[in-house]
A and B are shown apart, each in its own frame.
Chain A
Amino acid sequence: MSAIDEPYKLSAGLLAAAVHGVFFALLYFGFNWQTLPATPMSVDLWQSLPGGAAPTPIIEQPVVEPVIEPKIEPKVEPKVEPKVEPKVVEPPKPEIALSDKSRPKPKPVETKPEKPVATASVTNGVVNGAAKAVANVSTENSSMAREAAEKAAATGRMLDEYRAKISAKIHRNIVMPPEVADDARAEFLVTLLPGGSVLSARLTRSSGNAAYDNAVERAILKSQPLPLPAEVALFNKFRELALVFKPVE
């Protein structure tokens, strides 16, 4: 009886093995396929976005910056790095820093009569309004340069404001693990997508307490979407944020 099945035994066995091979290959590649794509896909996406969406703002900036370079540069550039840390700890500080910034502004009166006109007209109403209040005091010619300076300062202020908003939002979401040293200090490099969602939050410097690092990372992810300024041009400044977190507020 069993002799009759004989010729099929081998082929049936091979087919059964083949079915399982296919099934496991499906499972194996299915799982890998799901895990991999996150990083490479998103990089491609936002390379193209700012180019199409905000060509005008990009042209604006080179015009503004050479004008105010001597005065603005020390304000905008160094501010990005050191300001993050005090801001996280004491939100009021940026206010003081900003008022400092507004004082030197009336000085850059002398240069550039023509070019800033074009740029100032492009800027939004809020900036213009703030600039006009200052402009009323001084002469027509100088007011334009001042407007440009004011605008850049407003941009810087906006950057600081939103940085403060972002870290405040994240701070609210941190679930503090027990026994975190007061001097713990975790640094994160957060990469954002337009719209405020977090592409990645990378720990650049651990606080030495893994639970705290994890809590911060979770808080960053939980805070999505992060508050971002409405202007598309400004998003470039928020694409990569270096944030510092300390347990003591």
Chain B
Amino acid sequence: MEVTQDLSFIHLIVNASLLVQLVMGLLLLVSMTSWWYIFLKMFSIRREIRLTSEFEESFWHNQNLTELYKHANNTAPRELGALERIFAAGFVEFIKLRKLHGVDAAAVMEGTRRAMRATYQREMDRLEAHLAFLASVGSVSPYIGLFGTVWGIMNAFRGLANVGQATLAHVAPGIAEALVATAMGLFAAIPAVLAYNRYAHEINRLSTRFESFTEEYSNVLQRQP
């Protein structure tokens, strides 16, 4: 009965050996960061999807490109969605090239597409930022936790060698405190993997939407008188 009372969660962490404590601290930090990124990405991807839908709707309902550009120009940059920026970059480049005389229509379209491509890539990079972190947390933190556990169990058994009679009461606390490290590793890893897969999928869908919009938008520009 006394043994079970010692198994409180706080005891487990406080009594663990220094290296196991370090591992737990590292895992806590990693887990904190990964959850932070998870929520950050969740918010920003949701926002991106909402803004993309809004802009697509206003683009297809309102064929006046100048008006759309004015709206994009008047909003603060941080309020703009990725798609709207791609649109604005393409529009600016198109107008500039149009004004230069002696540039044929094919070259104008080529320049416009390049400008849109550049903005698209920049936006994708922004959307995908930190996803690699989630991926590596997902794959590495179980191993970190396992390392802490193995070390803790090694210590528990080494301590056991000094005791004449080995009972469960001697081994159990050591193993339990070692296993806390694995638990923490898994706690960091599982949400990170789930979030990574989900966000990668959502960003992929967004990028498809951006690309198809770019194509359609190029057609619209080409038709401009």
- A residues sitting closer than 8 Å to B (CB atoms) are 1, 3-6, 8-9, 11-13, 15-17, 19-20, 23-24, 27-28, 30-32, 34-35, 38-39, 175, 177-178, 200, 211, 214-215, 218
Of the candidates B31, B36, B78, B129, the one whose C-beta lies within 8 Å of that of A12 is B36
Contact A9 B9 (CB under 8 A): no
Interface of A is mostly: helix
Residues of B within 8 A of A178 (CB): 164
Rounded to whole Å, the gap between the CB of A187 and the closest CB of chain B is: 18
* Closest Cβ–Cβ distance, residue B37 to chain A (whole Å): 8
B5 within 8 A of A: yes
Q: Which residues of A contact B9 (CB under 8 A)?
A: 24, 27-28, 30-32
* Structural contact, B78 and A3, CB atoms closer than 8 A: yes
A38 to B39, CA, bound (A): 41
Query: Can you offer 14 A-B residue contacts whose CB atoms are under 8 A?
Result: A1-B126, A1-B129, A4-B78, A9-B40, A12-B38, A15-B35, A15-B39, A19-B35, A20-B35, A24-B9, A28-B10, A35-B8, A38-B4, A211-B165
Q: Which of A3, A20, A23, A32 contacts B8 (CB 8 A)?
A: A32
Q: A31-B7, A39-B1 are in contact. List 15 more A-B contacts (CB 8 A).
A: A3-B78, A4-B126, A8-B43, A11-B43, A12-B36, A12-B40, A16-B32, A28-B10, A31-B8, A31-B12, A34-B4, A35-B4, A35-B5, A38-B1, A175-B165
When C-beta atoms are compared, the residue in chain A nearest to B1 turns out to be: A38
Please tell me if B44 contacts chain A, counting CB pairs below 8 Å.
yes
Measured CA separation A6–B129 after assembly (Å): 14
CB of A193, distance to nearest CB on chain B (Å): 15
Q: Within 8 Å CB of A23, what residues of B?
A: 187
Q: Is the CB of A11 within 8 A of B126?
A: no
Distance of A20 Cα from B43 Cα, bound (Å): 19
Number of A-B residue pairs having CB atoms within 8 Å of each other in the complex: 73
CB of A13 within 8 A of CB of B44, answer no
Interface residues of B (CB under 8 A from A): 1, 4-5, 7-10, 12, 28, 31-32, 35-40, 42-44, 77-78, 122, 126, 129, 164-165, 167, 183, 187
Given contacts A1-B126, A218-B167, contact A6 B8 (CB under 8 A): no
| Alpha-carbon gap, A62 to B134, bound state (A) | 76
Distance (whole angstroms) from the CB of A202 to the closest CB of chain B: 9
Name the B residues within 8 Å of A8 (CB-CB). 39-40, 43-44
Could you tell me the distance between the alpha carbons of A177 and B4 in the complex, rounded to whole angstroms?
24
Return A139 CB to nearest CB of chain B, in Å.
57
Q: How far is the CB of A239 from chain B (nearest CB, A)?
A: 19
Find chain A residues with CB under 8 A from B5 CB: 35
- Measured CB to CB, the nearest residue on chain B to A32 is B8
Minimal Cβ-Cβ distance residue in B for A218:
B167
With A and B bound together, what is the CA distance between A35 and B164 in angstroms? 27
Nearest residue (CB) in A for B42 is A12
Q: Check if A17 sits within 8 Å of B32, measured CB to CB.
A: yes
Q: Contact between A35 and B7 (Cβ–Cβ < 8 Å)?
A: yes
User: Could you tell me the distance between the alpha carbons of A34 and B44 in the complex, rounded to whole angstroms?
Assistant: 41
- Give complex CA distance A17, B8 in Å: 22
A177 and B39 within 8 A (CB): no
Chain B residue with Cβ nearest A24: B9
**Quick one: closest A residue to B80, CB to CB?**
A4
Minimal beta-carbon separation of B203 from chain A (angstroms) = 15
A47 to B57, CA, bound (A): 74
> Which among B7, B36, B78 has the greatest number of chain A C-beta atoms within 10 A?
B36
**Docked complex Cα distance between A39 and B77 (Å):** 65
CB-based nearest A residue for B167: A218
Find the B residue at minimum CB distance from A1: B126
Q: In the complex, what residues of A have CB within 8 A of residue B187's CB?
A: 23
